[in-house]
Amino acid sequence: MKKILGTGFVVFIFAFFFGQLTFAQSSGISSGVPVTGTLSSEEAENTYYFSTDKDGEVYITLDESTGGFYMYLYNENGNRVSSDYFSSRGGKAVIDKKIQKGSYYIVVKPYNWNGISSASFKLKATYSSHINRNASSFEPNDTIETSLPVKSGEVYQSASESNIDQDVYQFTTNKDGEVYITLDEAGGGYYMYLYDENGNREASDYFSYSGGKSVINKKVQQGTYYVKIKPYNWNGITSAKYRFKATYPGSINRNSSSFEPNETFETAMPINSGQSYSSSSYSSIDQDTYQFTTNRDGNVRIALDNAKGGFYMYLYDANGTRVSSDYFSYAGSTAVIDRDLKKGTYYVKIKPYNWNGITSASYRLHASFPAPANACDRYKGVSKIWWDGIELKPGQIGRLIVKKDTTLFKLNGEQKSPSRTLKAGEFYRIYAFKPGMLSVGGGYYVDRDAKVTYETPSKAKLEAVRCIQNR
């Protein structure tokens, strides 16, 4: 649950009149920060004020009420933009609207009070403005503009604090390709929607009960996308947790043992001919994709065995056309694809099938196909690999060129201890990195900012260095 804060400050503004409407005194409300309020008579009303820094979505909720309430949204000219209401204790009201940059007022008034003389409520308004995001709940993330950016293939766990608490996530693809989005481990029912950067709905899925699962698997064009997660069909529950993961064309950090993320064609795990790969599906909606390339026409044989559950296995060509498939429905079985194929790149997708009473299952994949000779053979007799006239060292992942004098520091935990100043024009090899920092080796780092230029060698050169090092 998020911490509820008081209004914090009161803004006195000049009164202006439109019919009977007067905004003489308003309490400022920060974006995404809940406030509590109380009305002590049927004639009383509370007014809250906020300003957006750009056009965008506003999401306003009124709940945890002890009586019925009207909720109105007005612009700075006194025109009503939207409204909602409920007539009894425990009711909830929502205003979800696209608005222009400007100042707005939320007015809360009693409605249908019978036998009560005062009532309290909780109000939250999320809009385009500066926010302070909670590192564990990701709140506020109720709108497109406050959405949480997510990394491709990374798992995020969060919760909805009520059945009107929506969460929005954002990602940007670096090319056209496949997206695979999952929602599971949920304590209640949920809707999941995918929108493009223009607000057009691309896809959706839902489930209506605790333990349900949703998947969006779609080919999209390069761009920015938003995933909205909303509670659905909550009966007898007041909050619920969930797990969310989006895999899309973009930078990934592959796990060396699970090969994750590898849900899509663009994040497929490359495999070698004649080598076995042991992995697992951590849920019934966790699909894995593998990639191989043949260097000539010939026979391809792919086997899936040592499985602890049922699995589908599909073979696709480089155009995404299904070439063949096989499956089994229980543990201990084997699926085989044996075909003569044209030279090219192919993908193997493995999906759980007919899982009853299991939540995860391991498997083994083995593929034999016409493959190039040992790629390292071409570097026989070569002792050094050159990158723009400078030797590329083993373990080196890039290079740093200092554009403006910058500080070299030793990293002790989270503490930066300055060592010396690197001068403009100097060159350094890079062996590792941390968020916002580059390592020059020996535990020394520099900030990755406008003062430096970071360059990376081609994959071919990195592979050549590995070949020479592993002789």
* Contacts for 95 with CB less than 8 Å, ≥ 6 apart: 58, 59, 60, 71, 73, 82, 83, 84
Half-sphere exposure of 294 (CA within 13 A, CB side): 20
Instruction: Tell me the average pLDDT across 417-442.
Output: 91
Out of 91-105, 305-319, 326-340, 410-424, pick the least confident.
410-424
* Residue ranges matching CATH 2.60.120.380 in the chain: 10-126, 148-247, 269-372
Select, from the ranges 10-19, 33-42, 368-377, the one with the highest average predicted confidence (pLDDT): 33-42
Please tell me the predicted confidence (pLDDT) of residue 281: 97
Closest C-alpha among 314, 194, 315 to residue 244: 194
Residue (of 161, 115, 119) closest to 136 by Cα position: 161
If you write DSSP's letter for every residue of 43-108 in order, what string do you get? T--EEEEEE-SSSEEEEEEEES-SS-EEEEEEETTS-EEEEEEE-STT--EEEEEEE-SSEEEEEE
Whole-angstrom distance, CA of residue 29 vs CA of residue 24: 16
Q: What is the pTM of this model?
A: 0.75
Q: Say how far apart CA 323 and CA 315 lie, in whole Å.
A: 5
Share of the chain above pLDDT 90, in %: 82
CB distance 264 to 247 below 8 Å: yes
What confidence tier does 8 reach under pLDDT thresholds 50, 70, 90?
Answer: very low
Across 162-166, 331-335, 463-467, least confident range: 463-467
CB 121 within 8 A of CB 60: no
Condensed to tens digits (0 to 9), the pLDDT of residues 366-408 reads: 999 997 666 676 676 778 888 888 899 988 999 999 999 999 9
pLDDT of residue 388: 86
Give me the CATH topology for the region 269-372.
Jelly Rolls (2.60.120)
Q: Which residues of 158-183 are buried (b: 16+ CB within 10 A; e: fewer)?
A: bbbbbbbbbbbbbbebeeebbbbbbb
Segment among 5-14, 264-273, 310-319, 335-344 with least mean pLDDT: 5-14
Please tell me the predicted confidence (pLDDT) of residue 227. Answer: 98
Lowest pLDDT segment from 1-15, 236-250, 274-288, 314-328: 1-15
Q: What tens digit of pLDDT does each residue of 93-134 get?
A: 999 999 999 999 999 999 999 999 999 999 999 999 999 999
10-126: what CATH class? mainly beta
| Among candidate residues 35, 36, 2, 4, the one with its CA nearest the CA of residue 159 | 2
Phi, psi of 263 (to 5 degrees): -80, -20
Average of per-residue pLDDT across 7-19: 37
Task: Determine which of 38-52, 172-186, 426-440 has the lowest per-residue pLDDT on average.
Answer: 426-440
Portion of the chain with pLDDT greater than 70, in percent = 93
**Quick one: DSSP state of residue 444?**
E
Whether residue 418 is preceded by a cis peptide bond, meaning omega within 30 degrees of 0, is no
Q: Is 355 exposed, middle or buried (0-12, 13-18, 19+ CB in 10 A)?
A: buried
Tell me how far CA of residue 233 lies from CA of 86, 164, 190, 205, 353, in angstroms.
19, 11, 8, 14, 27
- Distance (Å, rounded) from C-alpha 173 to C-alpha 252? 12
Max CA distance (Å), the chain: 94
Is the per-residue pLDDT at 15 higher than 70?
A: no
The secondary structure element, H or E, covering residue 460 is helix 459-469
The answer to whether residues 350 and 363 touch, using CB atoms and an 8 Å cutoff, is yes
Other residues' Cβ atoms within 10 Å of the Cβ of residue 68: 21
Residue 459 — pLDDT band, cuts 50, 70, 90?
Answer: confident
Higher pLDDT, 247 or 443: 247
Strand order in the sheet with 322-328: 269-270, 288-294, 344-352, 311-317, 322-328
Q: What is the pLDDT of residue 433?
A: 86
pLDDT the model gives residue 98: 96
Q: Across-strand partners of 192? A: 205, 229
pLDDT value of residue 412:
83
Beta carbons within 10 angstroms of residue 124's beta carbon:
25
**CATH classification number, 148-247, choose in 1.10.150.130, 2.60.120.380, 1.20.1050.10, 1.10.420.10:** 2.60.120.380
Taking the CA atoms of the chain, what radius of gyration do you get in angstroms? 28
Asked if the model's pLDDT at residue 6 lies above 60, the reply is: no
The pLDDT mean for the chain works out to 91
In the predicted structure, residue 12 carries a pLDDT above the cut 70: no
Region 28-49 average pLDDT: 96
pLDDT of 7 higher than 80: no
185-204 average pLDDT score: 97
How far apart are the C-alpha atoms of 313 and 339, rounded to whole Å?
14
CB atoms near residue 467 (< 10 Å):
18
Strands 80-86 vs 93-99: parallel, antiparallel or unpaired: unpaired
The partner residues of 56 in beta bridges, in order of sequence, read 99
